[in-house]
C-alpha cells in the first residue's frame, strides 16, 4: 500500500460571511498557519494540492492558477482538484497518493473559497448544476435538490422534522467553542421549526451559511513526519465514489455513493466493524438532515436509525460516537472546499488532544471525516488515526 502518510500540521482562517481579504490572501493565511504549526518552511514542501469549488464563486477563471502563489505553489508541482462539495476531503486523498506513491516526501494541501464575490447571492453560482435543457428552464434554485432529498429521506423512514432539527441545535452549539466559527449560537428545536420556510421541508435554520475562508494541512511521509512533529496523525484510509448525474433516476433516501467511498476507506484502514472502531466522526452537514443521511451511508448505523442516535445523545461530544464536535458547516460555516478540509483538521486536532474546549470526552484513536457534493453524487472519506 505504498508509504505511510502523516498529517503533521494544520491551519485555517476564520470563516466569515464576507472577507476583506482576496482569495489569495485567505489561502496564504491558512497555508502559513499550517506551516507555522509544525515549524515548516515553504522550502520544505515538495508539492502543493489546491482544492476549490467552481470558479464562478470567486469570479476568477483558472482559479487554481490564480490562487497558486497564495497557496505556496511558486515554482512547485501543483494541481487543483475539484469534486464539488466533496473537494475538501478529496484534496487530502490527493495529497495522500502524492506521498504514498513516493513521488513526493512532503505536500501542502490548501482549500480556499470566497463565495461572497458572487452577486447578488452566491446561490446563483449553483444554477448550472441543473441540466441546462431539461431542468433549468423550470426555474430551479439550489435548495430544491436538498429539499427533495430531505423529503424523500423523511418519508422513506418516517423521520420527523423535530428529530432532524436536533442536528442544527447540536452543531451550532458545538461551534460556540470554535474560534473560527461564523454562526455559532445556542438555539432550540423550536427555533428551527419556527424559522422561515425556504423550500419545504428546508427551513432557514436547517441550512449552513455561505462563507469565505481557507484551510490547509501539511502532509509528509513516515520517514519525515517526526522531523516536524512529535504527534503525527496517520492517514490510514481514503475513499471516494461518484454516482450518476441522472439524479432523478435514483432513490434519494440513501447515499449509496457515500457507502462505496466508506467501504473503500475502511478496507484500506483494515476496519471491519466501523461502529466499534471509529471513535469520532465529522460527516458533511451543509443541511442538518445530511449529517444523519451520511452517518447511515458511512455504515455507522442502520438506515433510518441515525435520528435515534441523536435523540439518545450518543452523538454529543461526551457520547459514544461524537459527531461534528467542531460545530460542522452548520456552526463553523461553509466555504465549500475549505469546510471539507476543516473537518479533516478537526479530526486531526481531536486525535492530538488539541481541540481545546471542543475536546471530546472519550480517548479517540481513530476518526473519520467525510464530505459530499456535486448533484447529490459524490462521497469522499478520509480516516485518520494515532
Identify residues 239-298 at the interface with other proteins (CB under 8 A).
Answer: 244, 246, 248-252
Contact flags string 215-244 toward other proteins, x per CB under 8 A: -----------------------------x
Interface region with other proteins, contact rule CB under 8 A, candidates 129-137, 255-263, 275-283, 293-301: 129-137
Measured CA to CA in angstroms, residue 213 lies from 33, 146, 178 at distances of 13, 23, 14
Q: Which of 6, 7, 8, 16 binds other proteins (CB under 8 A)?
A: 16
Q: Which of 46, 105, 135, 305 binds other proteins (CB under 8 A)?
A: 135
Query: Counting contacts by CB under 8 A, is residue 91 touching other proteins?
Result: no
Closest approach, Cβ 344 to other proteins, in A, equals 15
Query: Counting contacts by CB under 8 A, is residue 127 touching other proteins?
Result: yes
Query: Counting contacts by CB under 8 A, is residue 148 touching other proteins?
Result: yes
Q: Which of 39, 65, 155, 365 binds other proteins (CB under 8 A)?
A: 155
Q: C-alpha angle with apex 247: 302 to 250, nearest 5 degrees?
A: 45
Closest approach, Cβ 180 to other proteins, in A, equals 4
| Residue whose C-alpha is closest to residue 381's, from 373, 372, 55, 23 | 372
User: Is the CB of residue 368 less than 8 Å from the CB of residue 236?
Assistant: no
Q: Environment class of residue 356 by beta-carbon count within 10 Å: exposed (0-12), middle (13-18) or buried (19+)? A: exposed
**Any idea of the CA torsion for 143, 146, 152, 154, to the nearest 10 degrees?**
-100
Could you say which residues in the range 175-204 bind other proteins, by CB under 8 A? 179-180, 196-202
Closest approach, Cβ 313 to other proteins, in A, equals 29
Measured CA to CA in angstroms, residue 339 lies from 251, 269, 303 at distances of 27, 24, 26
Q: Which of 13, 171, 326, 377 binds other proteins (CB under 8 A)?
A: 13
Q: Which of 31, 47, 262, 292 binds other proteins (CB under 8 A)?
A: 31
- Calculate Rg over the CA atoms of the chain: 19
Could you say which residues in the range 324-383 bind other proteins, by CB under 8 A? 354
Strands 78-81 and 378-385: unpaired
Interface region with other proteins, contact rule CB under 8 A, candidates 84-92, 136-144, 184-192, 309-317: 136-144
Strands 212-221 and 106-114: antiparallel
Strands 233-242 and 106-114: unpaired
Interface region with other proteins, contact rule CB under 8 A, candidates 19-27, 164-172, 228-236, 270-278: 19-27
Amino acid at each position: 500500500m505504498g508509504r505511510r502518510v502523516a498529517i503533521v500540521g494544520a491551519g485555517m482562517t476564520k470563516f466569515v460571511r464576507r472577507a476583506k481579504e482576496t482569495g489569495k490572501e485567505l489561502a496564504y493565511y491558512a497555508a502559513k498557519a499550517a506551516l507555522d504549526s509544525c515549524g515548516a518552511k515553504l522550502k520544505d514542501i515538495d508539492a502543493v494540492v489546491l482544492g476549490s469549488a467552481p470558479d464562478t464563486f470567486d469570479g476568477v477563471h483558472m482559479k487554481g492558477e490564480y490562487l497558486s502563489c497564495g497557496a505556496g505553489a511558486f515554482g512547485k508541482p501543483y494541481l487543483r482538484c475539484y469534486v464539488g462539495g466533496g473537494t475538501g476531503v478529496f484534496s487530502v486523498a490527493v495529497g495522500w497518493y502524492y506521498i504514498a506513491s513516493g513521488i513526493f516526501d512532503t505536500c501542502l494541501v490548501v482549500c480556499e473559497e470566497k463565495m461572497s464575490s458572487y452577486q447578488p447571492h452566491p446561490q446563483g453560482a449553483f444554477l448550472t448544476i441543473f441540466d441546462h435543457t431539461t431542468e433549468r428552464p423550470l426555474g430551479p434554485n439550489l435548495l430544491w435538490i436538498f429539499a427533495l432529498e430531505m423529503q424523500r429521506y423523511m418519508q422513506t423512514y418516517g423521520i420527523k422534522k423535530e428529530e432532524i432539527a436536533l442536528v442544527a441545535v447540536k452543531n451550532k452549539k458545538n461551534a460556540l467553542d470554535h474560534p473560527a466559527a461564523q454562526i455559532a449560537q445556542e438555539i432550540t428545536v423550536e427555533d428551527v421549526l419556527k424559522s422561515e420556510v425556504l423550500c419545504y421541508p428546508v427551513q432557514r435554520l436547517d441550512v449552513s451559511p455561505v462563507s469565505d475562508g481557507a484551510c490547509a494541512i501539511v502532509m509528509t511521509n513516515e520517514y519525515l513526519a517526526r522531523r516536524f512533529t512529535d504527534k503525527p496523525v496517520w492517514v490510514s484510509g481514503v475513499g471516494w465514489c461518484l454516482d450518476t448525474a441522472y439524479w432523478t433516476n435514483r432513490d434519494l433516501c440513501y447515499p449509496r455513493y457515500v457507502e462505496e467511498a466508506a467501504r473503500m476507506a475502511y478496507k484500506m484502514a483494515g476496519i471491519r466493524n466501523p461502529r466499534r472502531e471509529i471513535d469520532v466522526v465529522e460527516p458533511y452537514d451543509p443541511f442538518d438532515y445530511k449529517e444523519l443521511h451520511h452517518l447511515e451511508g458511512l455504515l455507522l448505523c442502520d438506515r433510518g436509525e441515525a435520528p435515534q442516535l441523536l435523540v439518545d445523545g450518543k452523538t454529543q461530544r461526551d457520547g459514544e460516537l461524537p459527531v461534528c464536535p467542531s460545530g460542522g458547516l452548520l456552526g463553523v460555516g461553509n466555504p465549500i472546499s475549505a469546510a471539507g478540509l476543516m473537518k479533516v483538521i478537526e479530526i486531526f486536532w481531536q486525535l492530538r488532544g488539541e481541540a481545546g474546549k471542543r475536546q471530546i470526552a472519550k480517548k479517540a484513536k481513530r476518526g473519520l471525516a467525510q464530505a459530499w457534493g456535486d448533484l447529490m453524487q459524490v462521497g469522499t472519506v478520509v480516516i485518520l488515526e494515532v
